[in-house]
Amino acid sequence: MPAWERFRVRLLGPVEVRNGATFHTVRGVPAALLSILALPAGRRRHVTALHRMLWDGRVTRNAVQGQVSKLRKCGLDVRHDDGYYWLAGMSGDDVDAAYFQQRVGELGGDVSADEAHALLELWRDDPRVLHDRLDAGFWQPVFRARDALVERIAAVPDAVRARIGALPDFLDMFPGDPALGALRAGPDPIARPEAKRILVVDDEHGDDIAMMLFRYDCTVVRGIAEWKRLWAAGPLRFDLAIVDRHLGSAVDESGFAILDALRGSPFPRMLITADRQAGDMSDLLDRYDLATVFHKHDGGAPLSDLLDTVRRLVDEQ
């Protein structure tokens, strides 16, 4: 059995779903919805976030349920509870893009021709082009893994690289992509500017915020335990920190403890909160040495103009 047939969902090219021995090709909005639910499989996505990512607010929320019904007809177990949707009964090993990220992260030492071939063979086309309904930033984690593998392949001897059978087709999928310049015959003249680094501390909307800020290199912290590990790892080097007021509990205000720890850091800090009665804003700005306080929508979803605030704090400073 070819290696790719072990996956139930294939996203690195035209979207396909395997239900037993039957393969379904999924296109359009259902394909975009499946991509969101499958990366990673099991993560719960609120209908508001799905609605914003798929239609940018131009249709009713009931449209999500209609697209979910189409996925269920392919044999996928899409669950729904209290406004959240998720893909049940599936792990990262069942999704080609998630498997690719995991395997690249596990590579040790020099990558062999067989290892590189097996990973490159998973790619069938550029998902950013095929699934243009989704913001290109959605695929950023996958392409970070791709670029990491490309760097590993570029470092091996020419004789090893010549034995990677899947490499020519892989390169053809990304014409003009500067990240692959080292693997092409000539030097690539286009240099990619280094992305500004942003720390996002938010248990509920952190991943959505990072997706919105795809132009930046975002590190997402979803709780106090993750924060403690990051803090213990050494000096924090970021260009901006975005910290939610509450983590874990609706009223724990643990974000303030993180902001207090970040006082004196060389990068600006921003508090985000859905509570417009959060107290005296000027007092908060002074107490925690904040650049600004950003209010989310009443429904809890990040405001679309968060990007404008980030640009002002990061790109224009």
Name the domain count of the chain. 3
- Return d(Cα 181, Cα 175) in angstroms, integer: 10
152 and 222 part of one domain: no
SS3 280: coil
69 and 115 part of one domain: no
44 and 9 part of one domain: yes
162 and 230 part of one domain: no
Scored b (16 or more CB within 10 A) or e, 28-45 reads ebbbbbbbbbbbbbeebb
101 and 155 part of one domain: yes
Domain containing 154: what range? 96-183
Among the three residues 93, 124, 140, which one is the final residue of a domain in this structure?
93
231 and 295 part of one domain: yes
Whether residue 191 is contained in a domain is answered as no
Question: What would the pLDDT profile of 290-312 be if each residue is shown by its tens digit?
Answer: 998 887 754 444 455 677 788 88
Among the three residues 60, 93, 126, which one is the final residue of a domain in this structure?
93
Q: What is the reported pLDDT for 300?
A: 42
Whether residue 118 is contained in a domain is answered as yes
253 and 288 part of one domain: yes
129 and 75 part of one domain: no
CATH code: domain of residue 45: 1.10.10.10
Among the three residues 93, 116, 148, which one is the final residue of a domain in this structure?
93
- Return d(Cα 148, Cα 146) in angstroms, integer: 5
Terminal-residue alpha carbon distance, the chain: 55
CATH code: domain of residue 256: 3.40.50.2300
Whether residue 192 is contained in a domain is answered as no
Q: How confident is the model at residue 277 (pLDDT cuts 50, 70, 90)?
A: low
Question: What would the pLDDT profile of 136-195 be if each residue is shown by its tens digit?
Answer: 788 989 999 999 999 999 999 989 999 999 999 999 899 888 889 888 754 444 344 578
Question: What would the pLDDT profile of 49-82 be if each residue is shown by its tens digit?
Answer: 888 888 765 556 678 888 999 999 999 999 999 8
27 and 76 part of one domain: yes
- Return d(Cα 96, Cα 145) in angstroms, integer: 13
- Return d(Cα 21, Cα 222) in angstroms, integer: 38
Chain-centroid distance of CA 111 in Å reads 25
Question: What would the pLDDT profile of 118-145 be if each residue is shown by its tens digit?
Answer: 999 999 999 988 887 888 788 989 999 9
